[in-house]
Structures are given as structure tokens and as C-alpha cells.
Amino acid sequence: MSIRLPDVVAATLLVSALNCSAQEGLGEPLPRSDAKTSGWDYSATGYYYALSDQSDYLSVIATADRESLHLEARYNYEALDTGSVFAGWNFSGGDALTWELTPILGAVFGATQGIAPGFEASLAYGIVDFYIEAEYMHDFEVQEDSFTYAWSELGFSPLKWLRFGIVGQRSRAYQSDRDVQRGGFAQITYDKVTLGTYVFNPDDSADRFVIFSFGATF
């Protein structure tokens, strides 16, 4: 299994560009250690798709939030060799049952070009949480390639550092006869770093694949 160099380079550029654009409205750029003081919260997560019948690839998502403003950049998410940038607005509430909702609108460019309205949402109660992100990718070049993408997780966190559960995905970046991929996942968190493993279609050897994730907040 190998990660293609263009994927790594493009993903690194996307993460760097998002961090820079978030700081431009603050006057003089601040050191990374002052990110909380500046009001910005950043995150970056890489997903390594280890596939049995296709070339492995790396997908990257980076976010920047300041108060209710949400900015996001992705690579190899809507399609391979494709980037996207999003802006949205965060809403949240609740006490025992907490919720968050972020409507987003994005532009998709690269091998696939289009516009993508969507949302990200979560619910949490005690040790149980549910998360979903979905979008409709409207393809400018080939109307028939327009597509609804979704990723959802039902998670359980019996310990502060441990989260596991079930996951579902509907995507065109990974080609399969199955319209919806499903499986299980486990994550461990230490300080600001989270490592995860996702196993999709565990009961089907022909369509089984694994995703390894590495995420950090700063």
C-alpha cells in the first residue's frame, strides 16, 4: 500500500491555505500557541483508505471556526484529485441533550467541478452521540454525475479517551457495487490527537476495506 505523492502535497497545501486565510482577518498573524486567544479553533484530519481492489488514497479535511463562523477545506472527498472549500454557520443548544447544526455551501474544483450545499449535525446524550454530514454535489460538467454524499456515525464513549460504534458512508470517491458502505469504528484520543480505524463491509470479503484516521485540534 502506498500514498501517492501528489495527494500528500495537495492535502498539505489545502491545510496551509485554510490556516492562512483564517488569520488574514486578524491583522498581524499570531503564533500558533495563541490560536485560542485569537478566537480561532482549528482541526485537521487525514483518512487513509486501504483498499484491496483499487489504489489506496488519502483524504484530508481541515476546519477553522471562530464563534459561529465555520470554514472548511477538503481534498479527495467528493472525488479523487478533487478539492473543495466551504463556508457555514454554527448553531448549537441543549443541556442534557445537546445538538449542533452547521449549514454549509461549498465550491468543488479539480477533476470534478461543481457546487455543493450541505450540512453537518450532531446529537449527544450521556455516552451516546450521533453525527452526520451530507451534501449534494452538483456537477457543472456532467449533470448525470451530480451526487448526494453522506457520512454518519453512531458512537458510544464509555471512557473519556475511547469512542466506538457503527458508521455508514455513501460516496463516489470509492467505487463499489454497493450504494451505501457500512461497518464499525473505534477511536482513541490523547490530549488533542485522535486516532481511528474504520472497517467497512466486514461481512463481504469482495467489498471489505479499512480506513485509518489521524486527527488533531489546535
Give mean pLDDT in consecutive 10-residue pieces for the chain, a chain of 218 residues: 44 44 38 60 98 92 97 96 98 97 98 97 98 96 90 97 97 78 97 97 91 97
pTM of the predicted model as reported, rounded to 2 decimal places:
0.81
Q: What is the pLDDT of residue 3?
A: 43
Count how many Cα atoms sit within 13 Å of the Cα of residue 110 in the half-sphere of its side chain. 19
Q: What is the pLDDT of residue 142?
A: 87
The answer to whether the CB of 78 falls within 8 A of the CB of 117 is no
Q: How far is CA 29 from the centre of its chain?
A: 26
The answer to whether the CB of 99 falls within 8 A of the CB of 93 is yes
Q: What is the pLDDT of residue 116?
A: 98
Q: What is the pLDDT of residue 179?
A: 82
Q: Which residues of 135-174 are buried (b: 16+ CB within 10 A; e: fewer)?
A: bebebeeeeeeebebebbbebebeeeeebbbebebbbebb
Domain locations along the chain: 5-217
CATH top-level class for 5-217? mainly beta
Q: What is the pLDDT of residue 210?
A: 97
Q: What is the pLDDT of residue 36?
A: 55
